[in-house]
Structure 1
Amino acid sequence: MKSEQLERMKYGSGFIAALDQSGGSTPKALRDYGIETSEYHTEDEMYDLIQQMRSRIIVSKAFSSKHILGAILFEKTMERKIDNLYTADYLWEKKGIVPFLKIDNGLDEQKDGVQLMKPIPKLDELLGRAAAKNIFGTKMRSVIHEANRTGIHGIVEQQFELGQKICDAGFVPILEPEVDIHSSNKQEAEEMLVAEIISHLKKLDDSMNIMLKVSIPSVAGTYNDLMNDPKIVRIVALSGGYSRKEADELLKQNPKLIASFSRALLSDLSVKQTQQEFDAALLNSIIEIYEASL
């Protein structure tokens, strides 16, 4: 199964849907969907509602392997079922879509112009559960705010150190050193990031497989050289605060980069839509992002 999934991630056409809003970002995701905080009273009720939203997306006929290569899940989504199948199994067995899991615990305070990931003390236990639920790969996010060499080195060091552990556990990690799109020296930060990634790639065993999730670069083609490294399965781009239209137009300028959008994918969806309206809105978003990813 994993060899088939790896082949699909390396060579397939499409993009990765990010359905991984966690505890802190779930209220906003629900609000954007049309569900106010007054409509639920406990954390369990909140997670029930976000699961209903995600299930509606995943089950939709618009959400298919024709356009979508993979989907990134939140831990609680991984543990829940859709039509009596765990979410990852439903994605792969019913849809042919490769399941990933968000594993980070959020961001630390800013230092040296960056935010490292908070520690993940129960990583081994989480990866064990992910293996049992047939997860293919993982994703973890940190953020670069300034072109600070010390900070960027620290981010890449942390991402690759965790990436090695994840590879050793049998998964394909998506390393996500996001560069804030509002950074005053974004281009310089991206140049430093590429140099650090190249340096760290040289230290990896040739048999390793990793992915990168990056901000759409200020200069088109910034990440092209990295894509030629045999250890890189795929490089995907987050929307990072751009509207879907803006993100799509920028993505088209980077023909080897594919999307991994969250908010930009879901922005037109509403709990109040009929199923027909919902499917049509989702399909429109998916096709726009798919075409920008070709």
Structure 2
Amino acid sequence: MSMSPLAAHERIGKGIVFMLLAVLCFALMDVAMKHLAGHMSSMQVAFFRGSMSLPFIVLWLVLAKRMDRVRPRRVGLHVIRGFISIAFLVLTVITLRELPLANAYAIFFVAPLLITLLSVPLLKEKVGIHRYSAVAVGFIGVLIMLNPNAMGFLSYGVIVGLLATLGYALVMVLVRFMHRTETSESLMLFFVLSLSVGCGLLALFDWRPVSLLDVPWLLGLGLSGAVAQYLLTEAYRMAPPSVLSSFEYSAMIWALVLGYMLWGDWPGPWVLVGAAVVIASGIYISHREALRKKDLVDTDQSKLQH
């Protein structure tokens, strides 16, 4: 039975609210990682990112009766994704430690540009002149925010941040491919499982004492990560990606607010201008992607009618 326009509109509205809440939870998770990275090794923080979220995710899968959906079909792809995820998350922790939160987010927003470019050789997707132009404009925004008067090209935090963003883009392209055979539940579970095992083993070489003062931060890290993952899954169940993708950029608002409240950080004007250009490019790419998918659906329906 088809859904009424009003019901569909309300469902999409709920999806947007879930996305905004998911972005807030991810920002709180990053705040916890940034705090812990001040006195723990990056491997150790990455390990806690996975291990503290794992119980919450398993509990949700059990209560929602979705454990039967976690069985992987292509184990090799999960292993490859696990290795790349370990690398990009460790680099992300280092970036959060080295840079103000808003500056780190400004770099992370480059990911949609890289995903667009990587999808051509890796997924054989066709990218038209509009999206290529948006990518070019987006990289102009990168140059603006990374100029010597802003963050600077050669700082350790910036270089690591760009590598982290490249790793994240590779993982997202791989996830797109894996969605053809794997369930969202398996992708979610094996992501945190790979972080727990892989980063846990690596963290043993540079393990630092954990104090009682760290416990609330660790619990907050696990809970915010798990809740964010749940909200994100529900958001995409209720609304299409073409609607939700633009709301991911609300993360910059939380980065500015939380960074200023907790550490007194405020990015310079060049960073804000460059980030605005990158965000605008990312939103336009999402818009063009939505139009492309709509055209494909319309073409398929036209073929069926004939």
**TM-score with structure 1 length normalisation?**
0.27
Q: Hey, which of these two has a bigger chunk of strand by percent?
A: 1
| TM-score normalised over the length of structure 2 | 0.26
Q: Which has the higher contact order (CA 8 A, sep 6+)?
A: 2
